[in-house]
Homo-oligomer: A and B are copies of this chain.
Amino acid sequence: MKVSERQLERYPIYLKYLISMRDSGLATISSPMIANALTFSEEQVRKDLQVVSINNGKPKTGRDINELIRDIQHFLGYDNAINACIVGVGHLGKALLNYKGFKDFGLNIVCGFDSDNNVIGQKINGLEIFSIYQLANKIEELKIEVAILVTPSNVAQEVTNKLMNAGIKGIWNFVPTHLKVNNDIVVENINMASSFAILNHKLKK
């Protein structure tokens, strides 16, 4: 079944909400209740949940909340973690090396890379920082599929080229730069400027 990007973005939001409801003692939950809490339309919630879960629950009580949580986690691949590295150990890179939340969504950070000799060889949050020249070796050795790119803008493309040569499969790009990549590489951008443009536009209306 085809799933749109907008739809994919919603599943982690459902999941967070469902886990908080389960933790506060709820055993079953209905689509209208979810729709109301998250300010999505009921139709959208029903469609989204049908994609991930066969069991539609009972008309009155709704779905079993634990089963729905498991179905979404499985759909998102959280039970099949991907190994990733942080590339660029500046302020943001360090913060991401220390971030505990990645595990929750199936991302297993295994190491960092940098070009600065003052950082190479250090451990941050128990994770070793390697030289950028060790990319190819370490990507193979540690079975790294995804690079989280947090370098300065002016070297982002150069480092991306190195990552492609080293056999990376996906790049999660936190640098506000449009990366040129080969067709077989997956890139997803976290663009803070784009997110803030929406906030700012709404504020000024």
Residues of A within 8 A of B (CB): 3, 5, 8-13, 15-17, 20, 37-38, 76-77, 82, 91-92, 94-95, 98-99, 101, 104-107, 145-146, 169-170, 172, 176-178, 186, 188-204
Partner of A186, one of B91, B94, B202: B202
> Nearest 8 CB-CB pairs, A to B?
A95-B95, A12-B193, A188-B199, A9-B194, A91-B98, A91-B95, A186-B202, A105-B193
> A192-B101, A194-B9, A194-B13 are known contacts. Are A199 and B178 too (CB-CB below 8 A)?
no
Copies of this chain per assembly: 2
| Closest-CB distance, A42 to chain B (whole angstroms) | 17
Q: Find chain B residues with CB under 8 A from A37 CB.
A: 178
Partner of A196, one of B91, B95, B105, B198: B105
Q: Report yes or no: B106 in contact with A200, Cβ–Cβ below 8 A.
A: yes
Q: Report yes or no: A77 in contact with B190, Cβ–Cβ below 8 A.
A: no
CB nearest to A20 among chain B residues: B177
